[in-house]
Each structure stands twice: as structure tokens, then as C-alpha cells.
């Protein structure tokens, strides 16, 4: 039985990863400081014999014995990571150093959940792993964008200098059940606004694009990357189907049967114009590609938010 540590395990992605690994027979240690994660995401696991929860912040050292480390800890939505930008930098840099130090000491394999944000407002489309990015180092998003870039640097340096067994994945927009109601990401924003009958807030002209990967596909990719041999990354995980923000808004209104209007707002600083992954490497190295289409995935997500909003009033 593998003993697996998941940092940020009570978050959106982390909680789904806990579920899947436990279902596969792993012994899971979940750590979270609950800055953006929620106990509600993992409450159903509290009594499970193969689940352990530790309240801990990765900016402080941790001493446990495990076989693998999924390092997911870090607020991922602009609202949360900009709320305390210095904390976000510390989580990405000091937290990654601490997890790499742990991996080095106990000889565990460690996977970093990096982000498509390392590409910034990309001038290459779709984005391939060889592209170095176009990132503002002093903007309001830099705490996250540059934090993830430094985290990747640390992963590679620990690998080259100390032979730590690493994996790096760059995650593109992911959505699904357990997204926070107030996390500020476009999918959850649109669904919550539509269900409440509020205007859907579209920033800029709405023609900027994103690609949306359902959480079940993303978790499958993370596990394949962790357990696979022959590639350490960086490797893109995301859905290459590209949609404009306006197309997403119209689809959400269709699926919710909502009558909300679209409200235009100014485009935030450093917001990428086009975002879409090239997943050729994931296909070749992992045999992975997304299976859940946007309409199907949104349907599942809308059901979750409908139940959540109904329960919470």
C-alpha cells in the first residue's frame, strides 16, 4: 500500500485526488491550512481508515514518512491569491522548498501542480511546454505567476543537484464539483450568477479564450504523471478545445435555463487574451487526453452548485 501526501488536500483539486487515490487503495495523508480549502470537501473521508488529515501550512517544515508527494498547496483563483500576495509567494517558494526538502530526506517522488499562468499573456498559440512565457514580473498577478515559475525552477534544481525524483505538470483551467462559490473563477462565477438570476459579468469584450478541463480528467492526468516513468515534465494538462468567454456564458445560460443579462466590465490587468494547451506531450508520454466535453462537464457542475446554493440559502 502506497502512503501518499497531498498538500492542499482539502481544496477543489486536492479533495478529488484524495477520493481517487483512496479508491485505488492508497493510504492518504492530507494537509491543508484551510486558507482556500474547505473541510466540507473532505468531510466524507474523516472516518475512512486510510485517510489522515493534518492542519498544517507548507511554509513551515513537515516531517512525515510517505512514498509520494502531490504538492498542490496554493490558492489558485485570482481573488484568493491576490488577497494576500506575499503569502502566495511564500507558499509557492518556501512551501515548495519545504516539500522538496522532505522528498529529498525520505526519497519520495514529488509532483508539483504548476499552472498555465507560467505562460502569462502568451504570444505563442497554443501553448507548448517549450515556450518560456510572457509574464509581467511586477503585476498584481505576479505573486502567483512568478511564484509558480520559481517553484518549477526549484523542482529542477533539486532534481539536478540532489537527484530528487520529480514531476511537473502545468494545469490549465479546470472546473467541476467542489469549486468554491466565491472563488472568482469564470465557470463558478457564471454558474452561480445564472442560478441566482444575477447578471453574468464578462470582462473586456468577451472574445478572450480559455480551455476548460473537467476535474475527473485532470485527476486522471495527475496520477498518470506521478506513476509514469520516462518523463519529469514540465507537461501540460488541460483540454485543447478553445472557447470564448461569451460562448461559455451563453452555454451556462442555456444549461441553467437562466434569463440573466450579460454585464460588461473592464478587463483586469495582465489578463491573458488566449489560453489553450498543446497536449501532444501528454498524449505521447501518458496516453492521456480529456474525455468529458464542456456541455457534459458543465451539467455536472451546475447540479453541484444548484444543490450547494439550495442548502446554504
The catalytic site residues sit at 144
Report d(CA 170, CA 273) in Å as an integer: 18
| Number of neighbouring beta carbons within 10 Å of residue 224 | 17
Nearest Cα to 290, choosing from 229, 216, 231, 225? 216
> What are the b/e assignments for 46-85, b being 16+ CB within 10 Å?
eeeebbbbeebbbbeebeeebebbbbbbbbbbbebbbeee
| Phi-psi domain of 262 (left: phi exceeds 0; alpha: psi -120 through 50; beta: other) | beta
Report d(CA 32, CA 166) in Å as an integer: 21
**How would you write 124-163 as a 3-class SS string?**
CCCECCCCCCECCCCCCCHHHHHHHHHHHHHHHHHHHHHC
> What are the b/e assignments for 273-312, b being 16+ CB within 10 Å?
ebbbbbbebbeebbebebebebeebbeebbeebeebeeee
Torsion sign, CA atoms 286, 292, 298, 303? negative
Element (H, E) at 109: strand 109-115
Amino acid at each position: 500500500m502506497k502512503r501518499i501526501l497531498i498538500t492542499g488536500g482539502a481544496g477543489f483539486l486536492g479533495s478529488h485526488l484524495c477520493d481517487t487515490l483512496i479508491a485505488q487503495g492508497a493510504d492518504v495523508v492530507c494537509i491543508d491550512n484551510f486558507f482556500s480549502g474547505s473541510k466540507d470537501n473532505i468531510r466524507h473521508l474523516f472516518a475512512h481508515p486510510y485517510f489522515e488529515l493534518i492542519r498544517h501550512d507548507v511554509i513551515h517544515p513537515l516531517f512525515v514518512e510517505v512514498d509520494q508527494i502531490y504538492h498542490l498547496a496554493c490558492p489558485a483563483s485570482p481573488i484568493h491569491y491576490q488577497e494576500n500576495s506575499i503569502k502566495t509567494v511564500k507558499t509557492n517558494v518556501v512551501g515548495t522548498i519545504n516539500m522538496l526538502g522532505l522528498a529529498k530526506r525520505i526519497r519520495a517522488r514529488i509532483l508539483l501542480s504548476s499552472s498555465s499562468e507560467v505562460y502569462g499573456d502568451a504570444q505563442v498559440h497554443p501553448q507548448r511546454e517549450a515556450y518560456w512565457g510572457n509574464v509581467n514580473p511586477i503585476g498584481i498577478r505576479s505573486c502567483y505567476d512568478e511564484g509558480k515559475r520559481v517553484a518549477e525552477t526549484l523542482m529542477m534544481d533539486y532534481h539536478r543537484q540532489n537527484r530528487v525524483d520529480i514531476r511537473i505538470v502545468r494545469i490549465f483551467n479546470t472546473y467541476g464539483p467542489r469549486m468554491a462559490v466565491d472563488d472568482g473563477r469564470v465557470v463558478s462565477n457564471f454558474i452561480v450568477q445564472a442560478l441566482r438570476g444575477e447578471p453574468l459579468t464578462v470582462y473586456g469584450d468577451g472574445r478572450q479564450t480559455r480551455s476548460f478541463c473537467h476535474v475527473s480528467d485532470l485527476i486522471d492526468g495527475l496520477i498518470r504523471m506521478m506513476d509514469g516513468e520516462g518523463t519529469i515534465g514540465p507537461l501540460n494538462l488541460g483540454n485543447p478545445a478553445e472557447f470564448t468567454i461569451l460562448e461559455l456564458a451563453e452555454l451556462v445560460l442555456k444549461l441553467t435555463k437562466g434569463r440573466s443579462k450579460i454585464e460588461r466590465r473592464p478587463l483586469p490587468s495582465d489578463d491573458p487574451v488566449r489560453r489553450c494547451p498543446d497536449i501532444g506531450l501528454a498524449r505521447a508520454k501518458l496516453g492521456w487526453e480529456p474525455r468529458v466535453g464542456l456541455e457534459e462537464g458543465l451539467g455536472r457542475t451546475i447540479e453541484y452548485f444548484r444543490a450547494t446554493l439550495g442548502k446554504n440559502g
